[in-house]
Amino acid sequence: MAERGGLEREIIELRRQLQEHNHRYYIDDAPTISDAEYDALLRRLQRLETEAGLPIPPDSPTQTVGAPPSTRFTPRRHKVAMLSLENAFSDAEMAAFDRRLRTLLGDGADCEYVVEPKIDGLAVNLTYIDGRLVCAATRGDGTQGEDVTANARTIADIPWRLRGEPPPELEIRGEVLMDRPTFTRLNRERRAEGAAPFANPRNAAAGSLRQRDPRVTAGRGLRFFAYAVGAGLEAIPAANQEGLLAWLRGCGLPVQPWQKCATIDEIVALVARWERELRHSLPYDIDGLVFKLNDFAQQQRVGALARAPRWAIARKFAAEEATTRVAAIRWQVGRTGVLTPVADLDPVAVAGVTVTHATLHNIDELRRKDVRPGDRVVVRRAGEVIPEIVRSLGREGTRAEPPDAPETCPACGARTRRATGEVAIRCDNISCPAQLLQHCRHFVSREAMDIDGLGRKLLTRLVDEGMVTSIADLYRLPWSRIAEWEGMGEKKIANLRQAVEASKSRPLERFLFALGIRHVGAATARALAGRFPSLERLQAAPIDALTAIDGIGEAVARAIRDFFSEPRNRRLLDELAGLGVRPQVAEGGADAPRPLAGRRIVVTGTIEGWSRRALEQRLRALGAALSSSVSARTDLVIAGERAGGKLTRARELGVSVLNSADLPNWLEAMED
């Protein structure tokens, strides 16, 4: 008896909870639990009601649809009730649905289904009298909805007049929605205005349609798709759902693309395909597929229950959102030195995968979403995307303090920096372990220090085995140990040692590029090396000495200064110098004459005695700007053997051409 009392108490409590959630969802447009959690509560109530075997009151959430209309709007009675749909969450439940229909329809009946995406929006009923829109109402409790006619008239997809010859009285049922691009734009605008953003497109659509002022609705870019007819269905020349959708389209109403299938295998395959990929190709959110028995005569034969027809079912996808608790918020250093806030979560299943942490993107997002340790949060995992926190639901009792922006890098302890105008917080220490591999790969690359043989695989192993913990370690590799590794023969080691040795005297510009200073690409490195005769002079340069260089702006200058003012970087440079890394100041450093300054030169063809790179370097040292194509602005083309189109073009344009045979004398003259 006591147990029975417990069961009843739980039933009553579940009904109360579900009614409260219905109100938050349908009336306030602000649900506090995810759809999946709601579905789970409803299912539990359904099970317990069956188990208890007591009469079920007609107002139980298992028997009702939505919520009664809010008093903010005039109530409108639907001519034909607007039902909801039963849900299926697995292939087995779909098989049961298919079996049930076949049994109801009698032995050997053919069942064909029309499959439509299940839009995550809000259902509306449009009443057309003699083809003219006279009323638009929300679904409400299925019997009565809220009058939103003035607002619905502002939606471009909803025609004021239907095409063709519709029945004199016609109820069109469909879904009002907001697509994702519109939702993103709207929330961006709202944030800019200091208004609270909408939690998801469904709430945004509901909040936008259920407005007092139609002008607000008009500006929200809502969309509409029709999928059913209430009153007037019998007068429509269609014998099945497929025919109805085509007819609706003919009236000028937008309908979604539909598919057909007839067996459980086809059903399973379709669901898998939509859930995996197709759903993400739509610009709006869908939360499942609706399977409808195609034939209207068959629909009639199987009929309906209190809240939903028996001839249709919504196959819900695994929810992409779930709620859980934030255990902690930490900062993760990415390979490029950007610090990202990450929330450690109590494990939760989202879209079939257990999620234990989610990204908060950056400090601005973290502040905007106001996520704090201990909060309950909504987590989303859509497609292949990394799980993210959609919003915080706060917590009962006192919340923790909002996390601060980190002042030091969690991986190396260096001071972090946030450049003005940038959202990213960074660690500029190139020896930071989190960034080390990336930095090493860049450092040894061909355009940088050009250490041939130190490829990705070898570097990864060196870092993994702790032999390389900073760039400097590249110049004190334990060769005898490396020689024991598989594939590292004597010859290979000798070549590698030589490449490492040779890299110690690369030109300054290459060394500067190799350091991986933010915004300092090869061209900027060249400009810096051309202006400063030594690394020491560059390190000491004030911002305005940097911005005085052509092509270096404020942000780049600041990044250079930040880099050199990081003590860990300065120590590394000293260490490298101690290991014999002495970048060579290119001929034509700051003090050398620059007779080709401002001249645009193109080199083409093979030039005897010169590698292309060496010649270009020499020309740059003399101040020339090198370009890869010939135009009227080109000052000189240096043409070697097999020069082709560029030489022809130079002749056409009357640009001076220097034959490579004359190059040595010409260079000598320039350098004199």
What are the residues binding ligand IVH (CB under 6 A)? 83-85, 116, 118-119, 123, 175, 227-228, 290, 309, 312, 314
Kindly report the CA angle at 528 between 615 and 669, in degrees rounded to 5? 35
Looking at beta carbons only, is 302 or 327 nearer to ligand IVH?
302
- To ligand IVH, the closest distance from the beta carbon of 70 in angstroms equals 17
The DSSP result for 326-384, as a single string, is EEEEEEEE-TTSEEEEEEEEEEEEETTEEEEEEE--SHHHHHHHT--TT-EEEEE--TT
- To ligand IVH, the closest distance from the beta carbon of 311 in angstroms equals 8
Looking at beta carbons only, is 65 or 603 nearer to ligand IVH?
65
Looking at beta carbons only, is 237 or 257 nearer to ligand IVH?
257
- To ligand IVH, the closest distance from the beta carbon of 17 in angstroms equals 19
Q: Cβ of 590: how many Cβ atoms within 10 Å?
A: 13
Looking at beta carbons only, is 172 or 228 nearer to ligand IVH?
228
- To ligand IVH, the closest distance from the beta carbon of 95 in angstroms equals 20
Place of tokens 């299940």: 118
Q: Cβ of 223: how many Cβ atoms within 10 Å?
A: 20
Look up residue 173 and give its amino acid.
R
Place of tokens 């009002």: 176
User: Which is catalytic among the residues 79, 118, 292, 457?
Assistant: 118
Looking at beta carbons only, is 290 or 293 nearer to ligand IVH?
290
What CA–CA distance (Å, rounded) separates 342 from 332?
7
3-state class of 124 per DSSP? strand
What CA–CA distance (Å, rounded) separates 163 from 250?
7
- To ligand IVH, the closest distance from the beta carbon of 50 in angstroms equals 21
Q: Token digits for 615?
A: 């010649």
Looking at beta carbons only, is 116 or 179 nearer to ligand IVH?
116
118 a catalytic residue: yes
Q: CB burial class (10 A; 0-12, 13-18, 19+) of residue 242? A: middle
Residues with Cβ within 8 Å of 38's Cβ and at least 6 positions away in sequence, in order, are 18, 21, 25, 31
Buried residues in 61-94 as b, exposed as e (16+ CB within 10 A): bbebbbbbbeeebebbebeebbbbbebbbeeeeb
Give me the helices (H) in 201-261, please.
Answer: 201-209, 214-218, 241-250
Kindly report the CA angle at 294 between 291 and 299, in degrees rounded to 5? 95
CA atoms within 13 A on the CB side of 223: 19
Looking at beta carbons only, is 309 or 341 nearer to ligand IVH?
309
What CA–CA distance (Å, rounded) separates 497 from 483?
11
CA atoms within 13 A on the CB side of 495: 9
Looking at beta carbons only, is 26 or 513 nearer to ligand IVH?
26
- To ligand IVH, the closest distance from the beta carbon of 105 in angstroms equals 18
Strand order in the sheet with 122-129: 132-138, 122-129, 169-177, 223-229
- To ligand IVH, the closest distance from the beta carbon of 9 in angstroms equals 29
Which of 108, 107, 144 is CA-nearest to residue 125? 144
- To ligand IVH, the closest distance from the beta carbon of 308 in angstroms equals 7
Active site residues: 118
